[in-house]
Structure 1
């Protein structure tokens, strides 16, 4: 349920009320189909009427909709939905299909990759923004792998739900600013099994969605958890979500560390293709990421500014760049990309 004194009131602004809203005496205070304004929120607060995502109609999406605002809204909605999962021990699947999936599908369709990545960077709302980010990145990878529409919808839902088991992790562990103790890490690892069981118990979900919750921390070389699975024993959707999960985690600001520099991010993800993550998916992701940056200005590790000119198909993370009137092949020197400039 939404606390209208909090930031979650922003979710309701501009949305259309699905049902008539009555006060505790049975008096109609806001009729159905009303577009909610600040005045309506004040009325609801004054009457102490509980209201949730379930009480508003599907968000209308157009190409003119501001993508950053949509992502911010989806983060708030995800937080509300997960709080309800924690309270009711049930996944509000219909609400996710109605309010989250359309935003993800719209964002993937209408936003360029570099702009999207800048919107998905996290700070104090990392836990819930991460769920949205992994869902969007997984859907993009699914499209690049040419999954059909049914498969894409299944993958997107799986990605939305991949961390649902974290509702059982105490906040002092989930948000701990330092390293976890071995005992705390064992508690964290349990979220894969808890998520699997919760999704399996939810009517309308699929087994592949449950498997993603269980397997997204498995690794190609068997070093992952909870089962130590290897290679093709890990479902394709789980391998896709694993790449999205790792990339967003490394590229985000966290309470215990800063986001990795761009060159570190690329190099680490590239290294993960040699044993940890699916090599085909990592290579596809890096290639698409770098192609999206052609023409962008970057800051190099030697302090100079450059423009990315061309991507080397054999070494996509070290492109050809232009510095002034000169061209520099980053695959043939020690200079790397420190930062992509807006």
Structure 2
């Protein structure tokens, strides 16, 4: 049975429509395959490739189409693998800047747009966690807030996967992590863009942002209630030193802890208006030692495992600017592996040489 199809403008496409032919964009292979049900992330792909018209079946949703004609339907999200992570990332940051302006003016969160920004990034980073090491290189002090939202969502999703949560939860964690600081849109630009450390009064105003974030997300049916709670609690600490309520262990959800650790990790490894970035390995040591008692040990360990579990031969740069490669991971001091210097061939045990540390991982992505 032949199904009737019609061309529709991209901006008029509805979620649930089914694509009636392979979609090409000056590419050898399709960027989206025929019989794919349109999801928010596909709309972002169409925009990235500047596509104007898409051929779709006339049925209102996939359920109205013949099952026999959709045997090869793509049920998982199909994201073109040859589009660089950085392309999706920069597009997400630019889109988020526009959304922040809307939220600051009293607008509501469009969860379809949010999903469209974060899902392509999650598809890639869940396959290759090394993108985590590139996040602080993409960021810049001026647009730090938008980079931080995207990166927190990405890191939170990888942590959720590491902790054993199923895919649906990892995606929810990505969205919650991304929206945790959405309430900053309701904070004065004067405070958000201040180039020196905030006064006590200004910081008190910033401490209201989890509440503002919660108010923005509380009526979103697509976001689980536990994720909304996590957004509200993501600055709480197990020892009661956090805000907005000063909750302690037993009252703070694990999901809030995941966002909290992702938030702190990206903040400390990024260049900010009044603070220089630090090595991911140094930051992990600080979180484990200086922040001990504030975060759930299992959550922290999940991020440690993600950051320090480097394959033998991974290229790194040390704090003295020497280049080297990882030779052996010491399970008792995982942030301080055995490394071989490329220039001299010297073997250095970072667990014994505390004056040196890994400043960055050299990835294929940068």
Give the TM interval when normalised to the shorter protein.
0.7 to 0.9
CA 1:305 to 1:204, structure 2 compared with 1: closer, same or farther past 3 Å?
closer
The equivalent of 2:149 in structure 1 is 131
**Distance in 2 between the 1:95 and 1:251 partners?**
27
Shift of 1:79: 1.6
The equivalent of 2:98 in structure 1 is 80
Bigger share in helix: 1
Residue of structure 1 aligned with 2:353, choices 325, 333, 338: 333
**Distance in 2 between the 1:73 and 1:126 partners?**
15
Are 2:76 and 1:90 equivalent residues in the alignment? no
Shift of 1:252: 0.6
The equivalent of 1:200 in structure 2 is 218
Are 2:35 and 1:17 equivalent residues in the alignment? no
> What is the TM-score of this pair, normalised by structure 2?
0.73
Residue of structure 1 aligned with 2:125, choices 108, 113, 130: 108
- 3-state SS of the aligned residue for 2:168? helix
Shift of 1:201: 3.2
Query: What stretches of structure 2 of length at least 5 have no aligned partner?
Result: 1-8, 14-22, 26-39, 47-78
**Distance in 2 between the 1:305 and 1:149 partners?**
37
The equivalent of 1:282 in structure 2 is 300
Shift of 1:326: 3.8
Are 2:43 and 1:57 equivalent residues in the alignment? yes
Does the Cα contact within 8 Å between 2:132 and 2:155 map onto a contact in 1? no
TM-align CA RMSD: 2.5
The equivalent of 1:3 in structure 2 is none
CA 1:119 to 1:333, structure 2 compared with 1: closer, same or farther past 3 Å?
closer
Query: What stretches of structure 1 of length at least 5 have no aligned partner?
Result: 1-15, 21-32, 36-53
The equivalent of 1:45 in structure 2 is none
CA 1:206 to 1:112, structure 2 compared with 1: closer, same or farther past 3 Å?
closer
**Distance in 2 between the 1:183 and 1:199 partners?**
26
Shift of 1:284: 2.1
**Distance in 1 between the 2:80 and 2:127 partners?**
10
The equivalent of 1:47 in structure 2 is none
**Distance in 2 between the 1:132 and 1:303 partners?**
29
**Distance in 2 between the 1:307 and 1:125 partners?**
33
Shift of 1:262: 4.9
Deviations 1:199-223 (A, max 9, x none): 1133433322221221111112111
**Distance in 2 between the 1:263 and 1:140 partners?**
17
Shift of 1:294: 4.1
CA 1:34 to 1:133, structure 2 compared with 1: closer, same or farther past 3 Å?
same
- 3-state SS of the aligned residue for 1:63? coil
User: Within 5 Å, which residues of 2 pair with 1:1-342?
Assistant: 17-19=10-12, 57-59=43-45, 61-97=79-115, 99-113=116-130, 115-121=131-137, 122-123=139-140, 124-262=142-280, 264-272=282-290, 274-292=292-310, 294-302=312-320, 304-323=322-341, 324-340=344-360, 342=362
> What is the TM-score of this pair, normalised by structure 1?
0.78
- 3-state SS of the aligned residue for 2:10? coil
